[in-house]
Amino acid sequence: MKNIVIIGGGISGYLILMNLLRTPGAQRLNVVLLEKERLDRLGVPYETTEEAHLLNVPVSNMSAFSDDKNHFADWLLKNAIDFTPLSFMPRKIYRQYILDIFNHLMKYKSELINVSMLQAEAVDVDMEGKNVLLNGAGQLSFDQLIMATGTFPPGHLALKNNDYTHSANYFPSAWQPGLMDSLKGLEEIFIIGTGLTMTDTIISLHKRGHKGKVTAISRHGLMPAVHKKCIPYPCFGEDMRKQVTILGMFGILKKHLKQAAIIGSDWRAVTDALRPHIPQLWNQLAEVERKAFIEHLRHRWEVCRHRMPEECALIVHSWLATGKITMYAGRIRQISESAEAGFCITYIQEKTQLIKQLKADVIINCMGPLTDYNLIVHDLIRNLMQKGVICADPLGLGLQCSAEGALIQQDGRVSDCFYTIGAPAKGTLWETTAVPEIRVQAKQLADRVTGMHKPLLQYSNS
Ligand SMILES: Cc1cc2nc3c(=O)[nH]c(=O)nc-3n(C[C@H](O)[C@H](O)[C@H](O)COP(=O)(O)OP(=O)(O)OC[C@H]3O[C@@H](n4cnc5c(N)ncnc54)[C@H](O)[C@@H]3O)c2cc1C
Instruction: Using CB atoms within 10 Å of the CB of residue 258, give its burial: 0 to 12 exposed, 13 to 18 middle, 19+ buried.
Output: exposed
Ligand 1 pocket member 381 (CB < 6 A): no
User: Residue length, the chain?
Assistant: 462
Report whether 169 contacts 441 (CB < 8 A): no
pLDDT at 24: 73
Ligand 1 pocket member 431 (CB < 6 A): no
pLDDT at 168: 95
Beta partners for 332? Answer: 347
Give the residue whose CA is nearest to atom 53 of ligand 1.
45
Ligand 1 pocket member 380 (CB < 6 A): yes
Rounded CA-CA distance 428/437 in Å is 13
Ligand 1 pocket member 239 (CB < 6 A): no
| Residue from 275, 274, 270 nearest 259 by CA | 270
Ligand 1 pocket member 64 (CB < 6 A): no
Query: What is the mean pLDDT of the segment spanning 153-181?
Result: 94
Ligand 1 pocket member 93 (CB < 6 A): no
CA 11 to chain centre: 10
Ligand 1 pocket member 35 (CB < 6 A): yes
Ligand 1 pocket member 433 (CB < 6 A): yes
Ligand 1 pocket member 422 (CB < 6 A): yes
Ligand 1 pocket member 149 (CB < 6 A): yes
359 C-alpha to center of ligand 1: Å? 33
Q: How many CB atoms neighbour CB 414 within 10 A?
A: 13
What the chain holds in terms of domains, given with CATH numbers, is: 2-152+370-450 (3.50.50.60), 163-225+307-365 (3.50.50.60), 237-304 (no CATH)
Which residue type does 247 have? Answer: L
Give the residue whose CA is nearest to atom 35 of ligand 1.
8
Instruction: Tell me which of 7, 11, 91, 432 to substitute to probe ligand 1's pocket, judged by most ligand atoms within 8 Å of the beta carbon.
Output: 11
Rounded CA-CA distance 127/141 in Å is 10
Termini Cα distance of the chain: 37
Give the residue whose CA is nearest to atom 16 of ligand 1.
434
pLDDT at 160: 93
166 C-alpha to center of ligand 1: Å? 26
DSSP code per residue over 345-389: EEEEETTT--EEEEEESEEEE----B--TTT---HHHHHHHHHTS
Name the band, by pLDDT with cuts 50, 70 and 90, for residue 458. Answer: low
Q: Is the pLDDT of residue 273 over 90?
A: yes
pLDDT at 451: 85
Report whether 286 contacts 248 (CB < 8 A): no
What single DSSP character describes residue 411?
T
CA 43 to chain centre: 10
Ligand 1 pocket member 57 (CB < 6 A): yes
10 C-alpha to center of ligand 1: Å? 5
Name the band, by pLDDT with cuts 50, 70 and 90, for residue 462. Answer: very low
Give the residue whose CA is nearest to atom 2 of ligand 1.
45
Instruction: Tell me which of 385, 433, 437, 440 to substitute to probe ligand 1's pocket, judged by most ligand atoms within 8 Å of the beta carbon.
Output: 433
Q: Is the pLDDT of residue 318 over 80?
A: yes
Which residue type does 331 have? Answer: R
pLDDT-above-90 percentage for the chain = 94
Give the residue whose CA is nearest to atom 26 of ligand 1.
150
Report whether 3 contacts 86 (CB < 8 A): no
pLDDT at 459: 57
Ligand 1 pocket member 218 (CB < 6 A): no
Query: What is the mean pLDDT of the segment spanning 205-227?
Result: 97
Query: What is the mean pLDDT of the segment spanning 218-225?
Result: 97
Instruction: Tell me which of 92, 98, 134, 149 to substitute to probe ligand 1's pocket, judged by most ligand atoms within 8 Å of the beta carbon.
Output: 149
Ligand 1 pocket member 9 (CB < 6 A): yes
pLDDT-above-70 percentage for the chain = 97
Ligand 1 pocket member 12 (CB < 6 A): yes
The pTM for the full model equals 0.94
Name the band, by pLDDT with cuts 50, 70 and 90, for residue 399. Answer: very high
Ligand 1 pocket member 278 (CB < 6 A): no
Query: What is the mean pLDDT of the segment spanning 372-400?
Result: 97
Q: Where are the alpha helices (DSSP H) in 4-43?
A: 11-22
| Residue from 93, 94, 96, 115 nearest 105 by CA | 115
Name the band, by pLDDT with cuts 50, 70 and 90, for residue 111. Answer: very high
Q: How many CB atoms neighbour CB 443 within 10 A?
A: 21
Give the residue whose CA is nearest to atom 3 of ligand 1.
45
Name the band, by pLDDT with cuts 50, 70 and 90, for residue 454. Answer: low
pLDDT at 20: 96
What atom in ligand 1 is closest to the CA of residue 43? Answer: 29
Query: Hey, is 181 helix, strand or coil?
Result: helix
Give the residue whose CA is nearest to atom 23 of ligand 1.
11
Query: What is the mean pLDDT of the segment spanning 186-196?
Result: 97
Query: What is the mean pLDDT of the segment spanning 218-240?
Result: 94
Tell me the average pLDDT of the chain.
95
